[in-house]
Structure 1
Amino acid sequence: MTAPPPVTEPVIVGADAGACTQDALALAHWAARTLGTTLIVAVVHPAPSALGSGRVDAEWIADRRAAAERVLATARETLGDPPDVEYRVVASSSAAHGLHDLAEQRKAALLVVGSTASAPVSRLLPGSTADRLLAGSVCPVAVAPSGMAEPPGTAGRIGVAYVDTPDGRAALESAARLARRTGSPLLLVTVVARGDAALPFMLGADAERAFLDTARETYEEALRKAAEAVPGVTVEWELRSGDVVETLAELTEVDVLFCGSRGYGPARRVLLGGVSARLLRRARRPLVVVPRA
């Protein structure tokens, strides 16, 4: 099999003084090594205000920049100062805005952030910066769960929350690119909600069974076709039943889980829908939200 072409776009990770930065650094470093590309560690500090108060404002900005440099020094120490890592201090009106701008300027392959400090261990709970990043990023955004129980590469499979929609296909395409580099198989999972959660109101028992049977057949056919359409990768697929978010959140047998944003919104930007937004607060494994094609 022909080796995948080199990735020239960098992986960018947002760092701050919070404990969850270590999780983000670990995930971003793994992603950059896997893709064979540069890692950029970025810390955002406040930009001078247009209505600043002279010396006092300037002193405060200088203090915040010094704090950002200390965060970078800690990140350098955490990573062991490997080659192919850049360290950037970015001045902006907000952390999310600064990371957005940097990702656009550098045409990032992936933007990585940590979970919030209040997240339970091994669960995702994105803070305000991650929430804002996920509301319009031009590249896939990965969120590392708090205190990742196992580093990526342990389970040996890459998961895709698959539905046959433009955003679902975008997630599959992005996951397949990573799988070709790691040699890992893909696991495509579609979840059918149980009982009346998936059914029109007042169908009746017979019609209910017929509806569910038809839905399962449709989803299975979509999964089969998707698996056959991915060249150069071993693809497994499963149709599961249950609560969609909880079932996907418990996919601990994958290294990382890819999902789409949703089927509408600005092209090539992340714009969270109901499942992806709730999954970010429940998933046990790193989650990558992919902009729709």
Structure 2
Amino acid sequence: MTEPIPGPVIAGVDGGPTSPDALALGRWFAETLGVPLVVAVVHAAPAALGSGRIDAEWVADRHRAAQQVLDAARKDLEDVRGEVDYRMVASSSAAHGLHDLAEETGAALLVIGSGRHATKERLAAGSTADRLLAGAACPVAIAPAGLPTPTGQRRIGVAYVDTPDGRAALTAAAEVARRTGDTLRLYTVVAEADATLPFLIGQDAERAFLETARETYESSLRRAAESVPGVTAEWQVVAGDVVDTLADLDEVDVLFCGSRGYGPARRVLLGGVSTRLVRRACRPVVVVPRS
């Protein structure tokens, strides 16, 4: 039985070339999770120490520009199912405004487009994404440039390791798969044999070490797949560079990953793998804070 998910999905847009990607992915998540969609545009707030009339005119101009972005979003979402709320948020920065809105609404997910200079079909987190991914209180999804919204039978991927972060990513991905009936695919990436290692410990010892590590990962994945009832779950251990392998997973429609294993709970704090992954992935990536 699925549990109700509190809070809406927030799609942050700015009228730039990546806004349609954020709208499309946000819409899909909102309809999938059965929650409202909030389309948010952040515009400049009046400065505490401004230049009077000049500052007020500039803020008013930014307010009008934000309204135009929302009007364009309304046209793009005319046929959306479910509730859509359009919000303008005054803040000192886009990331700060979206942070505040997510906490105010108890958002289930925050969705943004990739960086303006992202190549088509690849992620490249922009400055707003970088700041959002440094402390967001809810999962953050980044949409690659130019990819179509998932349709039909999908495969929900999870970059899994048996840590609090990995288990949080699995829980979030399983909830989506449970609601859609899609297949859940768990991946653990193990490093390939190091050519220098045999000289230190010998070929036989290295082979035994790698086999033991693989058996441990396979056992962990099997237990994880069995821990999500009501979901068809598959798993795979893949040898290779962790970031390269996960970034090139074009067989999944969306990839969930944890943030990192330290820092305050319930906050997204990127580690080495997740930082590089959101800059290179060819599919939408959802970074989940540990619970």
What is residue 244 of structure 2 aligned with on the other side? 246
Report the Cα offset of residue 116 of structure 1. Answer: 1.1
Q: Partner of 2:23: helix, strand, or coil?
A: helix
Q: Partner of 2:228: helix, strand, or coil?
A: coil
Percent identical residues? 68
CA–CA distance in 2 between the matches of 1:55 and 1:201?
73
What is residue 121 of structure 2 aligned with on the other side? 122
What is residue 132 of structure 2 aligned with on the other side? 133
Per-residue CA deviation, residues 196-230 of structure 1 (Å, 9 max, x unaligned), is: 29969933322221211111011011001111111
Matched residue type, 2:127:
S
Matched residue type, 2:14:
D
What is residue 166 of structure 2 aligned with on the other side? 168
Per-residue CA deviation, residues 73-115 of structure 1 (Å, 9 max, x unaligned), is: 1111112264511110000010000000000000000000000
Report the Cα offset of residue 8 of structure 1. Answer: 3.9
TM-score normalized with structure 2 length: 0.96
CA–CA distance in 1 between the matches of 2:155 and 2:88?
35
Q: Partner of 1:43: helix, strand, or coil?
A: strand
What is residue 185 of structure 1 aligned with on the other side? 183
Q: Partner of 1:206: helix, strand, or coil?
A: helix
Aligned length: 290
CA–CA distance in 1 between the matches of 2:110 and 2:174?
18
Poorly superposed stretches of 4+, deviation over 6 Å: 197-201
Matched residue type, 1:287:
V
* Aligned ranges 1:1-293 → 2 under 5 Å: 2=1, 4-80=2-78, 82=80, 83-148=82-147, 150-154=148-152, 156-196=154-194, 202-293=200-291
Q: Partner of 2:129: helix, strand, or coil?
A: helix
TM-score normalized with structure 1 length: 0.95
CA–CA distance in 2 between the matches of 1:199 and 1:154?
46
Q: Are the counterparts in 2 of residues 19 and 117 from structure 1 also a CA contact under 8 Å?
A: yes
Report the Cα offset of residue 153 of structure 1. Answer: 3.0
Report the Cα offset of residue 238 of structure 1. Answer: 0.4
Q: Partner of 1:41: helix, strand, or coil?
A: strand
Instruction: Decide whether aligned partners of structure 1 residues 154 and 251 sit closer, same or farther in structure 2, where only a CA change above 3 A counts.
Output: farther
**RMSD over aligned Cα, in angstroms?**
1.6
Matched residue type, 1:120:
T
